[in-house]
């Protein structure tokens, strides 16, 4: 599809996922055994969109070091670095010179949307839209800005969070732009596409449409969503050409998992990691080189690279930073985060942010 370029915004700090994002930018965090970005790029490739531009800022060098020119994934990758973060709209504007076609797909680098990209692009063209936003329906829209549409699919407003939302449709973080519209975004200063560009286009009478997508959608921006999303990928509930054989768990090369350990609910065990006998790892992500000792229980949690979880420790809904040590029998529950290299001594400490 030579008339369509893709831009993936990957420049954010990923503060909600700290401390994992202290060592790697969010789109590079391993999900189902590969950097999250791999799932997005392979989906684009399979839809025939092979010129992909990454708008980078935070830890910009890491992306090119890993992906190079993109040829291993069957795409042509370009990188455009913001020396000062320009926000989502500024990030799109900043890559304008690299765009070749008259249609641009824009993806948030932390959202996975199962929308059929060919159908989305065809609808955008048929409507002769300036911008088409993919919208998803959520059960509780109060925590999100809402995007109502009229019966023809035209966006009627961009509404802030409200205790009484008028629709359950929210922005899914994947857009199609008419190429020329990107030039109208102010250059050289931070711009939010959600708060400034979209409302501005609507106010100016531009043809802004919504494409409501009823399939898979998740924002991988919080620890709970990151873990759940990684498990969705392993289990085959989330669409990705980069997951060859969905299953109950994914064990990467070099990992040692004792026959008497249990790995369930989409758990990934990273390269050279160790899970000892009697350990139970459910719905979790164990990064490369981490160790889960005998009898430990790890549920809905992330164990950072090289971290060590002691015997009979219990972790639920927590994030353990890289190389941290959680001692034997320690209980960590409900949203606790252990910083990289921290050491929690053996003992029956119980720590929960829920009180």
Return all residues near 271 (Cβ < 8 A) that are at least 6 apart.
Answer: 252, 253, 254, 255, 288, 289
Bridge partners of residue 208, in order along the sequence: 131
Interface residue with ligand GTP among 4, 5, 14, 182 (CB under 6 A) is 14
Which range of residues in 103-111, 153-161, 163-171, 347-355 is near ligand GTP by CB under 6 A?
Answer: 103-111
Q: What is the smallest separation between the CB atom of 88 and ligand GTP, expressed in angstroms?
A: 5
Residue 114 interacts with ligand GTP (CB under 6 A): yes or no: no
Q: What is the smallest separation between the CB atom of 28 and ligand GTP, expressed in angstroms?
A: 10
120 HSE (CA, 13 A, CB side): 28
Residue 110 interacts with ligand GTP (CB under 6 A): yes or no: yes
Interface residue with ligand GTP among 70, 91, 210, 229 (CB under 6 A) is 91
Interface residue with ligand GTP among 19, 33, 70, 87 (CB under 6 A) is 87
Asked whether 56 and 81 are in contact (CB, 8 A), the reply is yes
State the helix-helix crossing angle for 60-67 and 36-46, rounded to 10 degrees: 60
Residue 221 interacts with ligand GTP (CB under 6 A): yes or no: yes
CA angle 229, 157, 151 (to 5 degrees): 90
Q: How far apart are CA 228 and CA 95, in angstroms?
A: 32
Interface residue with ligand GTP among 6, 9, 73, 332 (CB under 6 A) is 9
Interface residue with ligand GTP among 31, 40, 60, 82 (CB under 6 A) is 82
Neighbours of 180 (CB within 10 A): 11
DSSP 59: B
Token reading at 120: 């989305």
Helix (H) or strand (E) holding 218: strand 217-219
Complex with ligand GTP: residue 40 or 328, whichever CB lies closer: 40
Complex with ligand GTP: residue 93 or 213, whichever CB lies closer: 93
Helix (H) or strand (E) holding 65: helix 60-67
Complex with ligand GTP: residue 111 or 132, whichever CB lies closer: 111
Which range of residues in 11-19, 98-106, 279-287, 298-306 is near ligand GTP by CB under 6 A?
Answer: 11-19
Q: How far apart are CA 186 and CA 167, in angstroms?
A: 30
Neighbours of 253 (CB within 10 A): 8
Residue 26 interacts with ligand GTP (CB under 6 A): yes or no: yes
- Measured from each CB, the residue nearest to ligand GTP is 12
Residue 55 interacts with ligand GTP (CB under 6 A): yes or no: yes
Bridge partners of residue 235, in order along the sequence: none
Q: How far apart are CA 232 and CA 136, in angstroms?
A: 17
Complex with ligand GTP: residue 192 or 262, whichever CB lies closer: 192
For residue 26, indicate whether it is catalytic: no
Residue 85 interacts with ligand GTP (CB under 6 A): yes or no: yes
Residue 44, helix vs strand vs coil = helix
Residue 83 interacts with ligand GTP (CB under 6 A): yes or no: no
Q: How far apart are CA 335 and CA 76, in angstroms?
A: 39
Looking at 142, 161, 189, 350, which residue is catalytic?
161
Interface residue with ligand GTP among 38, 42, 57, 249 (CB under 6 A) is 57
- Residue ranges binding ligand GTP (CB under 6 A): 9-16, 26, 55, 57, 82, 85-88, 91, 108-110, 221
- Active site positions, annotated: 161
């Amino acid at each position: 599809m030579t008339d369509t370029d893709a831009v993936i915004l990957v420049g954010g700090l990923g503060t909600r996922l700290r401390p994992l994002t202290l060592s790697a930018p969010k789109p590079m965090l391993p999900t189902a055994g590969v950097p999250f970005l791999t799932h997005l790029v392979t989906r684009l490739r399979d839809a025939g969109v092979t010129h992909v531009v990454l708008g980078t800022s935070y830890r910009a060098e890491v992306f090119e070091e890993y992906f190079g020119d993109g040829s291993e994934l069957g795409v042509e990758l370009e990188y455009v670095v913001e020396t000062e973060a320009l926000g989502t709209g500024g990030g799109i504007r900043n890559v304008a010179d690299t765009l070749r076609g008259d249609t641009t797909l824009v993806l948030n680098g932390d959202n996975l949307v199962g929308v059929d990209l060919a159908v989305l692009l065809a609808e955008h063209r048929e409507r002769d839209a300036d911008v088409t936003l993919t919208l998803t329906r959520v059960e509780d829209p109060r925590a999100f800005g809402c995007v109502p549409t009229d019966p023809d699919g035209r966006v009627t407003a961009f509404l802030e969070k409200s205790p009484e939302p008028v629709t359950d449709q929210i922005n899914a973080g994947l857009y199609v732009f008419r190429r020329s519209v990107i030039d109208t975004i102010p250059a050289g200063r931070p711009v939010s596409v959600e708060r400034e560009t979209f409302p501005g286009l609507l106010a100016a009478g531009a043809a802004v449409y919504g494409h409501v997508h009823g399939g898979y959608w998740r924002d991988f921006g919080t620890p709970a969503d990151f873990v759940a999303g990684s498990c969705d990928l392993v289990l085959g509930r989330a669409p990705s050409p980069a997951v060859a054989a969905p299953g109950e768990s994914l064990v990467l090369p070099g990992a040692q998992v004792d026959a008497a350990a249990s790995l369930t609910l989409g758990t990934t065990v990273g390269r050279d990691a160790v899970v000892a006998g009697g350990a139970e790892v459910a719905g979790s992500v164990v990064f490369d080189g981490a160790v889960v000792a005998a009898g430990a229980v790890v549920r809905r949690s992330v164990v950072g690279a090289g971290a060590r979880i002691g015997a009979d420790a219990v972790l639920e809904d927590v994030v353990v930073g890289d190389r941290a040590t959680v001692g034997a029998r320690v209980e960590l529950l409900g949203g606790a985060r252990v910083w990289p290299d921290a050491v929690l001594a053996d003992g029956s400490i119980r720590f929960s942010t829920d009180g």
